[in-house]
Amino acid sequence: MDTKEAKLSFETALGQLETIVESMESGDVPLAELLAKFESGTTLLKICEARLKEAELKIEQLKKQKDGKVSFEPFAPDREG
């Protein structure tokens, strides 16, 4: 995954993935282009999964303290996935 792809937001990556799926489902894509789209889609899927995992970890870090206040612990995402 290059730097440009690593900076994509979840929404952007998902939108691009949806576009790829729609074009692949049309059946009008030559095999070579289909393979390239599949590869791009796989990369975008990994990006979406990483963003969702980061969000899940951030949510888990929210803890209720004894007095009922919510605290947030800093989160350092692992972007290697």
Locate tokens 């800093």: which residue?
A: 74
DSSP letters, 50-65, are HHHHHHHHHHHHEEE-
Dump pLDDT digits (tens) for 4-62. 666 889 999 999 999 999 999 988 889 999 999 999 999 999 999 999 999 888 887 77
Strand locations in the chain (E):
62-64, 70-72
pTM: 0.67
Q: Where are the domains of the chain?
A: 3-72
- CATH code at 3-72: 1.10.287
Token pair belonging to 15: 């939108």
65 falls in which pLDDT band (50, 70, 90)?
low
